[in-house]
């Protein structure tokens, strides 16, 4: 599975196509799935020594799937807009017969005997799996860099001296760098949206229960959400539409009809009321000036597009949500990995050991209190969000820092505003809203009512179409 075919360097116009663009070319028989997959495999081969986005590359398998896709399309068996589209997944998604490591020494030899439901749905739609992507160990980390994991840290394609967020770190890197057309990650406290913010891509944490977690290595049962990272909002909606839906394999799966998130996505936002969260409490981190300026400029764009902006206040400070998410995560994660901690803690990296220690010492009464407080906050926060069509909120308070700035790395991760919507379960999309003076992407979150991802995408699409940021790509 590690073997890579020897390929010529990829044509940039292929690896930087959007899903929407590539699917139209494939459907019109103007682009071969084999040609497209070869371009991405060549891109991986040309960039991996610098970016370390992948843990496992399935080159031969991807090419075989591409040949089958080409034959099916030629025979009139076109499956839809994802047919022939190459993607990759965080290495906590299981695929039958393929190693799942979770970036941990504890799982280096584990070969999966099941495939995640999300991957099954994508491959049934004709999408082609390129490989498994880098992550933090079992999805664990606060931004501290310890260099004690079995794989090198992923590097930011905008500047390889810069952080990539976490824990779906390779997913953000691969999409931004053009080594995957889209990627799947998972989000417990921000682990889709943080790497999306760091790498300047669009990352969706849907409403809790919309996407099945079956076949994904768990981090925290009551908070984990699987989600897509893409270059554009329209692509994101397309992928979510494919992977969403009830799954009896996942006890947390919502039994609801999946709407067509693309229907009305380009209808504009004139007349909408968009709530704006500006104050996240006295203990929220200070915001980098360029990040604040780009967030304020985003507000102006939304107003120019016809939306009415109103300032809203959450019922608790950012720290209140973060404390709840932390307590629940520590307790549930420990319950998942207790045996490994008690028997093989020496194989764990420091971040995971520290988290297991916190879970080991947690009292049941504190976990129960955190869950009770979470329910209260979810209801009171929903009352605020439901008064608007959508909400604009900060994502990270600064752009991706350098790896040698430990204090700022922790602030980027632990101080982000993402955990609010893990605690409440609301859909939240991290969207690129510009760049700072060093050329690093800035970010914001667009948040919706429960199960109203369609409106989130509509707002995001209107902003994206009115701004030039999707024309910018990292130069490698």
pLDDT of residue 1: 42
pLDDT of residue 3: 40
**Confidence tier at 143 by pLDDT (50, 70, 90):** confident
**Confidence tier at 155 by pLDDT (50, 70, 90):** very high
> Cα 144–150–151 angle (5° rounding)?
80
DSSP 446: E
DSSP 430: E
State pLDDT tens for residues 384-418.
Answer: 999 999 999 999 999 999 999 999 999 999 999 99
Read off the tokens for 457.
């995408």
**In terms of DSSP H, where are the helices of 210-273?**
233-243
SS3 143: coil
**Confidence tier at 142 by pLDDT (50, 70, 90):** confident
State pLDDT tens for residues 272-325.
Answer: 999 999 999 999 999 999 999 999 999 999 999 999 999 999 999 999 999 999
pLDDT of residue 311: 98
| Cβ 197 vs Cβ 443: under 8 Å | yes
In angstroms, the CA 361 to CA 359 distance is: 5
What angle do helix axes 233-243 and 19-27 make, rounded to 10 degrees?
70
State yes or no: pLDDT of 5 exceeds 90. Answer: no
- Sorted by sequence, the CB contacts under 8 Å of residue 292 that are 6+ apart come out as none
| Cβ 141 vs Cβ 351: under 8 Å | yes
| Cβ 154 vs Cβ 175: under 8 Å | no
DSSP bridge pairs for 428: 205, 447
DSSP 181: S
Which one, of 177, 175, 170, 141, lies nearest residue 153 by Cα? Answer: 170
pLDDT, average across residues 140-149:
86
State pLDDT tens for residues 6-56.
Answer: 444 445 589 999 999 999 999 999 999 999 999 999 999 999 999 999 999
Of 51-55, 141-145, 230-234, the one with minimum mean pLDDT is: 141-145
pLDDT, average across residues 373-380:
98
pLDDT of residue 146: 81
pLDDT, average across residues 439-451:
98
State yes or no: pLDDT of 166 exceeds 50. Answer: yes
pLDDT of residue 12: 55
| Cβ 165 vs Cβ 200: under 8 Å | no
Give the DSSP letter string of 289-341.
Answer: HHHHHHHHHHHHHHHHTTPEEEEE--SS-HHHHHHHHHHHHHHHHHHHHHHHH
pLDDT of residue 113: 98
Phi and psi, residue 391, nearest 5°: -130, 140
DSSP bridge pairs for 274: 309, 390
State yes or no: pLDDT of 465 exceeds 50. Answer: yes
b/e 138-159 (16+ beta carbons within 10 angstroms → b)? bbbbbbeeeeebebebbbbbbe
State pLDDT tens for residues 88-97.
Answer: 999 999 999 9
pLDDT of residue 11: 52
> So which residues are the catalytic ones?
90, 167, 191
- Architecture of domain 12-471 in CATH? Alpha-Beta Complex (3.90)
DSSP 470: G
pLDDT of residue 144: 84
b/e 405-427 (16+ beta carbons within 10 angstroms → b)? eeebbbbbbbbbbbbbbbbbbbb
pLDDT of residue 13: 86
Q: What is the mean pLDDT of the chain?
A: 96
Q: How many CA atoms lie within 13 A of 364 on its CB side?
A: 0
pLDDT, average across residues 142-152:
89
In angstroms, the CA 72 to CA 68 distance is: 6
| Cβ 186 vs Cβ 140: under 8 Å | no
pLDDT, average across residues 173-198:
98
In angstroms, the CA 206 to CA 446 distance is: 11
Domain ranges within the chain, ordered by starting residue: 12-471
């Amino acid at each position: 599975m590690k073997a890579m075919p020897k390929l010529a360097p990829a044509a940039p116009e292929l690896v930087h196509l959007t899903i929407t663009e590539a699917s139209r070319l494939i459907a019109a028989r103007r682009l071969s799935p084999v040609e497209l997959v070869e371009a991405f495999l060549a891109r991986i081969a040309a960039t991996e020594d610098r970016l370390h986005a992948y843990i496992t590359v399935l080159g031969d398998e991807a090419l075989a799937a591409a040949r089958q896709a080409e034959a099916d399309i030629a025979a009139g068996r076109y499956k839809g807009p994802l047919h022939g589209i190459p993607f990759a997944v965080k290495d906590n998604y299981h695929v039958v017969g393929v190693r799942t490591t979770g970036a941990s020494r504890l799982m280096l030899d584990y070969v999966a005997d099941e495939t995640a439901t999300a991957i099954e749905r994508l491959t049934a739609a004709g999408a082609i799996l390129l490989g498994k992507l880098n992550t933090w160990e079992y999805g664990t980390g606060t931004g501290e860099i310890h260099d004690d994991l079995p794989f090198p840290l992923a590097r930011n394609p905008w500047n390889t001296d810069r952080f990539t967020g976490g824990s779906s770190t390779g997913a953000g890197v691969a999409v931004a760098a053009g080594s995957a057309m889209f990627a799947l990650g998972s989000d417990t406290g921000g682990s889709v949206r943080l790497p999306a913010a760091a790498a300047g891509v669009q990352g969706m944490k849907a409403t809790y229960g919309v996407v099945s977690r079956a076949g994904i290595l768990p981090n925290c049962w009551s908070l984990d959400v699987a989600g897509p990272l893409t270059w554009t909002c329209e692509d994101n909606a397309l992928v979510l539409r494919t992977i969403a839906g009830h799954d009896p394999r996942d006890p947390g799966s919502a039994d609801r009809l999946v709407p067509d998130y693309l229907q009305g996505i380009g209808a504009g936002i004139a007349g909408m009321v968009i709530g704006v969260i500006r104050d996240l409490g006295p203990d929220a981190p200070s915001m980098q000036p360029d990040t604040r300026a780009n967030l304020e400029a985003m507000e102006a764009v939304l107003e120019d597009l016809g939306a009415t902006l109103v300032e809203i206040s959450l019922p608790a400070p950012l720290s209140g949500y973060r404390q709840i998410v932390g307590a629940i995560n520590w307790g549930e994660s420990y319950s998942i990995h207790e045996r490994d901690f008690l028997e093989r803690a020496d194989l764990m990296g420091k971040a995971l050991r520290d988290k297991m220690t916190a879970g080991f010492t947690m009292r049941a009464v504190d976990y129960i209190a955190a869950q009770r407080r979470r329910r209260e906050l979810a209801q009171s926060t929903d009352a605020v969000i439901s008064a608007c069509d959508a909400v604009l909120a900060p994502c990270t308070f600064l752009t991706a820092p350098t790896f040698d700035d430990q204090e700022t790395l922790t602030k980027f991760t632990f101080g982000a505003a993402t955990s609010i919507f893990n605690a409440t379960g609301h859909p939240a999309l991290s969207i690129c809203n510009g760049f700072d003076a060093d050329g690093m992407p800035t970010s914001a979150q667009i948040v919706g009512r429960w199960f109203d991802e369609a409106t989130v995408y509509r707002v995001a699409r209107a902003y994206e179409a009115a701004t030039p940021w999707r024309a910018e790509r990292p130069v490698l």
